[in-house]
Structure 1
Amino acid sequence: MTDQTKMPGPAPINYYYLWHLTALGVVDAEYGSAPPTPPAPDVSAARALPDPLITGTVWDAIVSAGPLRPARVALIDVGVSPDHPNLATRLDREASIDLTTHRYGARVLEILDTTTSFDREERHAFFGGLDIAPLGNMGLSNDDRDYLGDLVAEYAASEGVLRRLYNPESLFASHGTCCAGLIVGEPAVVAEEGTPSLPPEGAFYGNGDELRTSGNRNVIPYFGVDPFSRLISIRTSFEDDVRQFIAAFLYAYLQKADVIVLPRGLPDPKHSIVDPKNELKADLELWKNQDAANLFTRIAVADQGGPELEPKAAQKGSNPDRPWHVLKQLILSISRHIPIVCAAGNSGESQLIYPASLAADNNGIIAVGAVTVEGFRSGYSNYGEGLTVVSPSDDGEVFNRHQLRLDRLSPFAAQHDYSAFRTREYCYSHFSLLTTDLSGIFGYDHGSDPWSAVVPFGTNPGIGGGYYTTFGGTSGAAAQVGGLCALIQRAYKSRHNLGDRLSGPQVKSILKTASRLDAIVAPGTRKLTADCMNAESEDAVEMAYFFGSGLPNARAAVQAALAI
């Protein structure tokens, strides 16, 4: 009888669950010595050490500098799970707002024993005291300034609602919950009534002989970039409603946030106008560029046609671009007071999505791209002019005429002979960002039975609640940089007062100065390396085109803030 047993195939290497914090210098870890020469681009440069020696953290440096004065981070996203054990004490519920279910804001209160479905909503003035005079003229015309002034006056006099209902963010806030964990996640110990406090190893892992259910059994000692700061959730939808975005930034400004994080894009009113970049229009007469030449010809023909029917277009006689222009100037003006961290985009284009594309030297908008542990730009990460910095994240497969980036451990990789195309290959990274997840079946990783039901279990930790997931994208990268900005602000506050903060351009300058283009992404050993994505010989372009100022170092940034 023939032995049909097969040895298991290759598997991704094990890695430290907070590897991204070591790559940013938030946590100091020893991974051992690096090889004298970096490997070839198609060979992994990551060191396989899942339990590195931890020698210190940047949090210790801030604690030793002065009193604890948390920064306030406003996260404009789809909401945050209010009951996640690693976020429950970091989320400022009294300041958070939901702009999706009520134009003037809504907030969910605790459901009391006496609460019934007949209880009326309570009125609450979320925007009371709103004053944008400190923002100045903002570069608006008289008509635009009057438009914004009327809108601000309307919100300042408005009333939203307080509701004692089941929190909708327990159902639809998976993306925001992931970003929140990367920013301010903290270790969580569920204190059981009548039991003494336990050291972390006892609280999280318990006694091996213990059979009873422990509230900490499916909770891990997780850390975001700044677990000592607080987070304000500003919930928005994906509707193209410009008013909710204006309201979101006005509310973040009203709350005196120290950092604003926007790990998503906003509709760009000018993006629909097709205007190919000049470098893409070069050498169209060559055979290898025939597809691009044909595409540009079709675009030119389409532009000559009549306008498409827009059912939601503004009525005739109004200026549909005015609110979008006002939003743009509002974002730029607020960024000069508060740093605004934006995701660069996940389409692999050599241009940034909006509003990351607004980043410039004279404002506080921070556009963040993603890099892998292999030292390459993440396969999906947008890049180009205006990119500020990069941060660790996961990877994406790429197969075009400029590069091959393939997950060769996937069973589907063997179905095709990619070598026939003779495309330059870059090593695919299997590292992802571990972060907090929306518990239950509505999260990225579904929780296990019996608590993963149609109705989430709220604060009941249960067994296998699906509290964590792997995450990535430029959303994850932007969230980490948002945490770095919180560290910078908190370090500055420790030497000054709680109400003091650095301006957007100041934080941006510190972040850029603390970044390096020759950095490695630990536990990798390869320095940041450009790749060809959208053009021939693109990797010969200056490094800033792909990585901005480079990979930030948290300790250098904090030391700079402490020195001010």
Structure 2
Amino acid sequence: MTDQTKMPEPAPINYYYLWHLTALGVVDAEYGSAPPMPPAPDASAARALPDPLITGTVWDAIVSAGPLRPARVALIDVGVSPDHPNLATRLDREASIDLTTHRYGARVLEILDTTTSFDREERHAFFAGLDIAPLGNMGLSNDDRDYLGDLVAEYAASEGVLRRLYNPESLFASHGTCCAGLIVGEPAVVAEEGTPSLPPEGAFYGNGDELRTSGNRNVIPYFGVDPFSRLISIRTSFEDDVRQFIAAFLYAYLQKADVIVLPRGLPDPKHSIVDPKNELKADLELWKNQDAANLFTRIALADQGGPELEPKAAQKGSNPDRPWHVLKQLILAISRHIPIVCAAGNSGESQLIYPANLAADNNGVIAVGAVTVEGFRSGYSNYGEGLTVVSPSDDGEVFNRHQLRLDRLSPFAAQHDYSAFRTREYCYSHFSLLTTDLSGIFGYDHGSDPWSAVVPFGTNPGIGGGYYTTFGGTSGAAAQVGGLCALIQRAYKSRHNLGDRLSGPQVKSILKTASRLDAIVAPGTRKLTADCMNAESEDAVEMAYFFGSGLPNARAAVQAALAI
């Protein structure tokens, strides 16, 4: 081990369940030597906020700036559970859309009475009024511009459906539900009349008001980065259907979102390809690695649509790349008006996934990597040119010739001898993100239905009865930065009493200026520290290569927005 990896001591395993909010400066807390554990998820333990050491929040600064003006966050993901108690009042159901089951959009209506037919559908024009003229010159050729113009005209005149069927987001929305909680989760308090609502402005801390939960023993007082903003769920699939993604960004733009969050990659057949780095290419030229070189060549052919490996190759005369190019230019054009927050990727590569790799100084695409409470890049987090900022998340084990990162508490760790690696060992972090989960067996935690009084034999009731789960990845990191961007937009609106928003590059600039490369990821004690991952002496490269502008501070970002 090197000196930098030996010191200081690892952060304690017992930790406050909203530790990531303190790391970002959203919540101010004095940890002392032993941060408190999360409260038991029952009514008696959840009557008040769990930690008496909390001394303030960044939300208070915005409250004092002017009237409450929530930001609108468009989450392009697999959907969000509409009934989660910590999300029910934050999700804008009337604006949310499902683009996976209908090309022109679908939405599930609540069944108000038993006489309503379950299979009844109503037409609804989700894209009415769509006009992209304000986007200006998008850098498209005449043919590409005509292609996009025809597509926009088609969607503007289209009709989707309103359905009275079982909501598919109750089954498949685990990832989106986790991200939504990190962005806008709220504590599900009950007002005097018994209806769920947020507490009065300034009632979070310091004024003696008691926060009361909904009475559900499985609900805890949970907070996202900005619990005062609203979320629009734009449900998409993982299919390589380019029209679906074009429609998602067009819809977010139509809804006048203040922030767009894409906590995953898009399957662009060209831009998604990750080219081998020079050091890997050099290894593949060695005779002893000829088999590996042959495998890489065949994989590259498959990724590029080689004719012998692509049964659905485009017919002669068509241009299959055109819609993907249009999507790229559309993302860049929208980002100049609305910040687009993207996950950097979870493959440990020294390059970013698409569309995070579009991030540049002249646009509003924000590429987010993940760091641990130990101050290191998360073991899986992509990094490299274009990375904007980093945010707290969990960790991943690493076994390669450049570093060793082990979960020493795992029972498997003691079964192996790792001394043969003879590489530097970096501290593994046991901290993960706690966030809202899709309840029931389809959630990440596979909990039982929270409303069920009987837990079936052999099932795991999950954290909070299935309402919460541990989470991480650059998805979780991107979701938190999406919440920070919502705070920036909301602060600007509150101070200036405007319905307008800051542009994507303006928000990105504020975020970068409010970030530091010498930051400490609380409650840890180590500053951000580079690690050697994919090349010899890689940790000697400039810090921005691993962390972009660094770890953002919410208070500094909000103050900058208020000062505009």
Per-residue Cα deviation, 1:450-491 (whole angstroms, up to 9, x for no partner): 856999999999995410000000000000000000000000
Deviation at 1:434, TM superposition (A): 0.4
Change (3 A) 1:456 1:545: farther
TM-score by length of 1: 0.87
Per-residue Cα deviation, 1:12-63 (whole angstroms, up to 9, x for no partner): 7210010000000000111248999999999999999995711110000000
Per-residue Cα deviation, 1:514-550 (whole angstroms, up to 9, x for no partner): 0000000000000000001111110000000000000
Deviation at 1:268, TM superposition (A): 2.5
TM-score by length of 2: 0.87
Change (3 A) 1:538 1:368: same
Instruction: Tell me the secondary structure at the aligned position of residue 122 of structure 1.
Output: strand
Change (3 A) 1:499 1:49: closer
Which residue pairs with 2:345 in the alignment? Answer: 345
**Matched-pair contact (CA < 8 Å) for 2:489–2:561:** yes
Instruction: Tell me the secondary structure at the aligned position of residue 204 of structure 1.
Output: coil
Which residue pairs with 1:508 in the alignment? Answer: 508
Instruction: Tell me the secondary structure at the aligned position of residue 297 of structure 1.
Output: helix
**Matched-pair contact (CA < 8 Å) for 1:46–1:523:** no
Change (3 A) 1:133 1:165: same
Change (3 A) 1:47 1:363: farther
Instruction: Tell me the secondary structure at the aligned position of residue 61 of structure 2.
Output: helix
Structure 1, gaps ≥5 residues long:
none
Q: Provide the C-alpha distance between the structure 2 equivalents of 1:199 and 1:518, rounded to a whole number of angstroms.
A: 35
**Matched-pair contact (CA < 8 Å) for 1:85–1:219:** yes
Q: What stretches of structure 1 move > 2 A for 4+ residues in a row?
A: 1-12, 31-52, 114-120, 189-216, 271-316, 446-465
Q: Provide the C-alpha distance between the structure 2 equivalents of 1:495 and 1:213, rounded to a whole number of angstroms.
A: 30
Deviation at 1:448, TM superposition (A): 3.3
Change (3 A) 1:249 1:459: farther
**Matched-pair contact (CA < 8 Å) for 2:107–2:162:** yes
**Matched-pair contact (CA < 8 Å) for 1:448–1:464:** no
**Matched-pair contact (CA < 8 Å) for 1:14–1:48:** no
Choose 44-53 or 192-201, whichever is displaced more. Answer: 44-53
Q: Aligned pairs, how many?
A: 564
Instruction: Tell me the secondary structure at the aligned position of residue 4 of structure 1.
Output: helix
State the Cα RMSD in Å.
7.8
Q: Provide the C-alpha distance between the structure 1 equivalents of 2:191 and 2:279, rounded to a whole number of angstroms.
A: 60
Deviation at 1:278, TM superposition (A): 2.9
Change (3 A) 1:464 1:385: closer
Which residue pairs with 1:492 in the alignment? Answer: 492
Choose 380-389 or 419-428, whichever is displaced more. Answer: 419-428
Instruction: Tell me the secondary structure at the aligned position of residue 411 of structure 1.
Output: coil
**Matched-pair contact (CA < 8 Å) for 1:441–1:452:** no
Deviation at 1:170, TM superposition (A): 1.0
Per-residue Cα deviation, 1:214-265 (whole angstroms, up to 9, x for no partner): 8421100000000000000000011110000000000000000000000000
**Matched-pair contact (CA < 8 Å) for 2:46–2:221:** no
Change (3 A) 1:32 1:213: closer
Q: Provide the C-alpha distance between the structure 1 equivalents of 2:41 and 2:399, rounded to a whole number of angstroms.
A: 15
Which residue pairs with 1:201 in the alignment? Answer: 201
Q: Quick one: percent identity of the two aligned structures?
A: 99
**Matched-pair contact (CA < 8 Å) for 1:19–1:522:** yes
**Matched-pair contact (CA < 8 Å) for 1:260–1:341:** yes
Change (3 A) 1:118 1:191: same
Instruction: Tell me the secondary structure at the aligned position of residue 302 of structure 2.
Output: helix
Q: Provide the C-alpha distance between the structure 1 equivalents of 2:2 and 2:404, rounded to a whole number of angstroms.
A: 39
Structure 2, gaps ≥5 residues long:
none
Change (3 A) 1:474 1:5: closer
Q: Provide the C-alpha distance between the structure 1 equivalents of 2:530 and 2:188, rounded to a whole number of angstroms.
A: 39
Deviation at 1:441, TM superposition (A): 1.1
Deviation at 1:83, TM superposition (A): 0.3
Deviation at 1:107, TM superposition (A): 0.7
**Matched-pair contact (CA < 8 Å) for 1:34–1:525:** no
Change (3 A) 1:44 1:204: closer
Deviation at 1:130, TM superposition (A): 0.1
Q: Provide the C-alpha distance between the structure 2 equivalents of 1:239 and 1:83, rounded to a whole number of angstroms.
A: 26
Change (3 A) 1:11 1:35: closer
Deviation at 1:269, TM superposition (A): 2.4
**Matched-pair contact (CA < 8 Å) for 1:189–1:216:** no
Change (3 A) 1:351 1:134: same
Change (3 A) 1:3 1:462: closer
Deviation at 1:316, TM superposition (A): 2.6
Change (3 A) 1:524 1:481: same
Change (3 A) 1:503 1:44: farther
**Matched-pair contact (CA < 8 Å) for 1:70–1:228:** yes
**Matched-pair contact (CA < 8 Å) for 1:41–1:427:** no
**Matched-pair contact (CA < 8 Å) for 2:17–2:37:** no
Change (3 A) 1:496 1:205: closer
Choose 293-302 or 542-551, whichever is displaced more. Answer: 293-302
Deviation at 1:309, TM superposition (A): 3.8
Which residue pairs with 1:443 in the alignment? Answer: 443
Choose 444-453 or 21-30, whichever is displaced more. Answer: 444-453
Change (3 A) 1:138 1:206: closer
**Matched-pair contact (CA < 8 Å) for 2:89–2:196:** no
Instruction: Tell me the secondary structure at the aligned position of residue 376 of structure 1.
Output: coil
